Chain A
Amino acid sequence: MKKLALLVAVIALVAFAAAPSARAADTIKIGAAFALSGSIAVYGEGFKKCIDLAVEEINAKGGIKGKKIEIVYEDNKSNPKDCVTAVRKLITVDKVPVIFGPAGSSNFMATAPVAQENKVVLISAQGAAVGLTKAGDYIFRVFPSDTLQGPHLAKLAMSKGYKKVPVMYVNNDWGLGLKNAFVDAYKKMGGTVTDIIAYDEKKTDYRTELLRASKGNPPAIVNLTYINEGAVQFKQAFEMGIKTQWLCGSAARAPKMVELAGKAAEGVIGTYPSVPQNTKAYQAFKEAYKKKYGDDKIPIFGDYNYDMVYVTARAIEKGGYTADGIRKALPQAAKGYKGVTGDKTFDNERSPKFAEYGIWVVKDGKIEDYKK
């Protein structure tokens, strides 16, 4: 047994001695703590593709002041504890001044205090939770806060005549925040929330929650859910014979959800921060993506990640390759900058000031914009 421990120790020593320590002087390293394995790996892989595309484009044009950008990817294994570890590692081992943060608002918010404490800039391209950036002035996001989405979802429900709805939501920072934003706005518009049901992520069986939500045959159910969870829920609801209008937020709006749920997802409607796709910039982005990866299905939130790279690059160019410099330069770099997802100006809380919301619907197995 002692020999086994010794052997293991030797292997470990050799292995981490082989790990590179100092950074090469002539690349601009940016950290990225993404879900490359685990239950939300589907997001992380998509982000990586769009980020790599942006980096390639910038480097082809000479990089930042002649230096090429290099992204150091760290797998966060889809859970908050490993997100914190990943961010810590990027800060202490790779010593990067700026990090692209993990998907999943709770995951991101777990890492924010670490970044703030170590004075490293942390940016989110898909965190919608209310209060995402409250950990401090090193925390930014290029994705609109749900304080803006709640009222739109409430308006959608009222405009379709649903004055009484039960609300189901994922029990985490994102779900909780959007639920609160929705309920506040909905009540103000005269709506009544008949039941509030929180559920855990990553379960395989939601029938208890679905049964409860469908009690009394409500014509509509608000379900603030994710891709995998949503797919399981819509399928099980379909099997249970629950007939209702599903109203969702933005997180389930993904081709993967429709793929997993099959025909059970037909007719699902939701709101999302809409990005006009007929602009020249968006079309060019789509073209470039297609050229590099062979298909033009932009992964969910991929467009925001693409913009995040560009905004960061501009900030590094203006403010220098230090955490403090980037932090100070980001508002300027983003002001008026029109990325593929629109105007990226920050507000006082380092979230995007401007956001428009559209309505999506699953029709014939595809996600489309909803036309009333």
Chain B
Amino acid sequence: MDSISYYLQTVLNGILAGCIYALFAMGLTLIYGVLNFVNFAHGELIMWGAYFLFLFMGEPFGLPLYAAILPALALTGCLGLAMDYSVFRPIRRANRLTLLIAAMGLSVFLRNAAQFFWGAEVRTYGLEVTAGMRFFGLTITAPQLAIIAVTLLCVAAVYLLFFKSRLGKSMRALSDNLDLARISGIDTKRAILAAWVISAVLAAVGGILLALDTNLSPEMGVINLIKAFAATLIGGVGNLWGALLGGMLIGLAENLGVLFISPGYKDAVAFVIMVIILLARPYVIIGERSD
């Protein structure tokens, strides 16, 4: 394709990647904000969301794509709740590092469980390959349009939930100060449950969109976790809009970056950004919650 299209297409790819990272980051930052730890297993919620859809589309269910989405999201939500109930709740009060390591262990477990059931090979949803549509010299496929549309939808839903509902208010209170929220009589249990469900569903939606665009593999969660974390850091812990912005920034940076560096280093862009932010803003720790 000619030069202008080439650059425009790169920007489009950046926006698409950014949408997906934004979804991942919003889910991650939510738990980070409400429960004050990095859910290292968030990548696996992403991956399992995609694989649950795969499960429902295959034997013995054989559902078409649209029908299989709801059960997939529901199951992922349950997975998130199960993770909290079995692992994170018992160690809610523990050292942050203990939580991080426990999450890492969980991540390894879930990742290999997927490999156990479905193997290490790349899988696809088996949808027929169709050429993308052309607009103004750009090409965009149907799944890619869906990415943009669904992301907008999710952002709107999250906004309504967080800023226009009581539950959202509870979650924001927890985000500010967990102990104070408890004392104030806010139903922390419900808020925490809600946070997990939302986080898991956002992860699943992102995972499904990602898999529709690029197929499934058990490793698809890990690299995205790091990118989601980088986005979270850019936007500030617990800040949903920050996560959205951070995700978009990373998506664009990655895709524009490979105009200058070898494609093999594409994933490194997010890492490097993350390391730079961590090193250049150590004060991000001080600006944190008191408990």
Contact = CB atoms under 8 A, between A and B. Distances in A.
Task: Please determine if A and B sit in direct contact within the complex, based on CB atoms under 8 angstroms apart.
Answer: yes
Interface stretch (B83-91, B120-128, B196-204): B120-128
Given A217-B1, A264-B129, A204 B122 contact: yes
Give the size range of B's interface with the partner.
20 to 34
Nearest to A208: B263
Contact of B121 (A39, A171, A208, A212): A39
Interface stretch (B67-75, B131-139, B274-282): B131-139
B98 interface: no
Contacts of A38: 120-121
B6 A211 contact: yes
Contact of A202 (B122, B132, B263): B122
A241 B132 contact: yes
Nearest to A265: B129
A232 B6 CA distance: 21
Contacts of A205: 213-214
B137 to A, nearest CB: 10
Interface string A173-201: 00000000000000000000000011110
Nearest to B262: A198
A228 interface: yes
A263 B129 contact: yes
B229 to A, nearest CB: 20
A37 B1 CA distance: 39
Nearest to A198: B264
A241 B135 CA distance: 12
Q: Most chain-B CB neighbours within 10 Å: which of A37, A198, A204, A238?
A: A204
A239 B129 CA distance: 7
B46 to A, nearest CB: 13
Interface string A215-232: 111000000000010001
Contacts of A263: 129
A158 interface: no
B232 interface: no
A229 to B, nearest CB: 9
Nearest to A229: B122
A197 B121 contact: no
Interface string B200-231: 00000000000001111100100000000000
B121 A228 contact: yes
Contacts of B216: 204
Contacts of A208: 13, 255, 258, 263, 266
Nearest to A209: B263
A289 B9 CA distance: 49
A349 to B, nearest CB: 31
Contacts of A284: none
B183 to A, nearest CB: 38
A238 B263 contact: no
B2 to A, nearest CB: 7
A297 interface: no
B10 interface: yes
B132 A200 contact: no
A69 interface: no
Nearest to A78: B120
Contacts of A276: none
B261 to A, nearest CB: 11
B13 A211 contact: yes
A284 B139 CA distance: 50
Which are the 9 A-B pairs with shortest beta-carbon distances?
A241-B139, A205-B214, A204-B214, A204-B215, A208-B263, A239-B141, A235-B129, A262-B129, A239-B132
Interface of A: 37-39, 41, 78, 171, 197-200, 202, 204-205, 207-209, 211-212, 214-217, 228, 232, 235, 238-242, 260-264
21 contacts: A38-B121, A39-B120, A41-B121, A199-B264, A204-B217, A204-B220, A207-B13, A208-B258, A211-B1, A211-B6, A211-B9, A211-B13, A215-B3, A228-B122, A232-B122, A235-B129, A238-B131, A239-B131, A240-B9, A262-B129, A263-B129
Given A39-B120, A216-B3, 9 more contacts: A37-B119, A202-B122, A205-B213, A208-B258, A217-B2, A232-B215, A239-B132, A241-B139, A260-B124
